[in-house]
Amino acid sequence: MNDLEALFELVTRRSGCALSRQQRDRVTEAAQRLAKGTPLGLFVARLDRPEGARELLQLLSSVSVHKTDLFRDEQQLAALEEHVLVPLAQKARALQLWSAGCATGEEVATLLLLLERAGAHPASRVLGTDLSAAALERARRFTYSEEAVRRVPSALTTRFFERTAEGLALAPPLRSRARFLEHNLMETPYPFPEVGTQFDVIVCRNVLIYFTPEAVERTVTALAERLAPEGALVFSASEPLLHPRLDLEPLRVGGAFFYRPRRQPPAPTSPPPGPTKPARPSSVSPPRPSAPPPAPIRAAATGEAAPEQEGEALFSLVLEWSAAGQDDRETEKGLRRALYLAPQLAAARYCLGRLLEQRGERADAMTEYRRALSLIEQQQAKPTPFFLNLERLAGACRLALARLRQ
């Protein structure tokens, strides 16, 4: 392994990111600037020792993407507010939220506004973490451009923002309810909330799409450990959990997917009589939904639904079942069946690509990412309730292709 490859291996291991070609270029440029004439091999060795910790953080921040805005993905946020934050706010206690990978803080400000509108206890707090010290410095200013706040409802903008020479600044009473920490999701221990040991809501959106499969598994497990029993874990629509998990189960509400700690069935009061056979693992066969199948599925059985409707309904069920314990081979079959019925489901092709990539089938994964991207670019993609933002889905496809071309 040459010195440059050793540098890339170190950054991937410490950041969790599967580096694209553009990211490798940024890492190389940052390393040359930080090394200040030190031979690259010696510089890489120093980065992996305590005395190189600060330089390593600066290098890792070159991998991150910090462009974002407030109220990003409105439909998911509306579902989060109505089905998670409002019920939690009714418990009349301080809530603890965490924006993991908060970049320049727009998501932290969004969560503060949602808590206020949900009527949460005034002692509720939001933690924002990121591995970039420069991004966190900007986040602490709580000042945004007109473009960044364009999606914020006008009533909230009027009430909670002040116009300054630098832009629109969040009102001090809300600012005081947030804190920021420098933290790398690849490192333990994970942060604690201000009160207690677990968070009511953890939002980690548009972070896992940069990670290797191993880093995704490690991060999701660690986040789940910090989640309160009635809490919710929020990923972006481009980051569905496609493998069975023992610690989380899906929460499908309001046209969005969240995840919550898995609720174990109650233990029997007494052992059943006679010998028993070991239970089959839950990942062997897909669980069945407790509610009746969606109307398009029921209608399809009687010939009343178009194949596209059946494909859409099947796609949403596959996403729900996969996180609930369905074997990934069954998830693949479900996705392929949904695409057979509704070939224009670009989101289903993207999810199939993610599943194949996580299994190491890189060539097949690239094929599905290309097909999804082509549908979007040719304006033939059909939006689904969970992937309404086709522009962002196209960005996720391009990122995946860049990652796999390295």
For residues 369 and 371, what is the distance between their CA atoms, to the nearest angstrom? Answer: 5
Dist CA 180 CA 101 (whole Å): 11
| pLDDT average per 10 residues of sequence, the chain (406 residues) | 87 80 84 89 87 81 74 90 96 95 96 97 97 92 95 95 95 97 93 95 91 89 96 89 84 85 59 41 37 41 66 84 75 92 93 90 94 94 75 84 81
Q: Which of 186, 185, 188 is nearest to 203 (CA)?
A: 185
pLDDT at 95: 97
State the Cα–Cα distance between residues 263 and 266, nearest whole angstrom: 9
Q: Which of 65, 69, 95 is nearest to 80 (CA)?
A: 95
- Please count the CA atoms within 13 angstroms of the CA of 217 that sit on its side-chain side: 9
Separation between Cα atoms, residue 161 and residue 53, nearest integer Å:
37
The Cα 11–Cα 120 span in angstroms is 40
**Residue ranges of the alpha helices (H) in 181-285?**
213-225
Joined together, the tokens standing for residue 11 give 């950054």
Q: Which element (helix H / strand E) includes 253?
A: strand 248-253
Distance between CA atoms of 172 and 289, rounded to whole angstroms?
A: 46
- Phi and psi torsions of 280, nearest 5°: -75, 145
| 400 in Cβ contact with 365 (< 8 Å) | yes
Helices (H) and strands (E) in the chain, counts: 17, 10
Spatial CA neighbour of 193 closest among 129, 127, 140? 127
Instruction: State residue 203's pLDDT score.
Output: 97
| Buried-exposed string 366-376: b where 16+ CB fall within 10 A, e elsewhere | bebbebbbebb
pTM: 0.77
User: What pLDDT does 258 receive?
Assistant: 93
User: 370 CB contacts (<8 Å, ≥6 apart)?
Assistant: 397, 401
Comma-separated ranges of CATH 3.40.50.150 domains in the chain: 74-261
| CATH architecture of the domain with residue range 74-261 | 3-Layer(aba) Sandwich (3.40)
Sheet hosting strand 161-163, strand order edge to edge: 143-144, 168-170, 161-163
How many CA atoms, within 13 angstroms, populate the side-chain half-sphere of residue 91? 13
- 55: Cα within 13 Å, side-chain hemisphere: 20
Could you tell me the end-to-end alpha-carbon distance of the chain, in angstroms, rounded to an integer? Answer: 16
Looking at the domain 295-405, which fold is it? 1.25.40
Which residues neighbour 209 within 8 Å (Cβ) at sequence distance 6 or greater? 236, 238, 239, 396, 399, 400
* Helix locations, 102-260, DSSP H: 106-118, 133-139, 154-160, 172-175, 213-225
Strand-pairing partners, residue 365, are none
* Residue extent(s) of CATH 1.25.40.10 domains in the chain: 295-405
Question: Which residues touch 386 (CB under 8 Å, ≥6 apart)?
Answer: 237, 240, 255, 256, 257, 316, 319, 347
Q: What is the pLDDT of residue 246?
A: 84
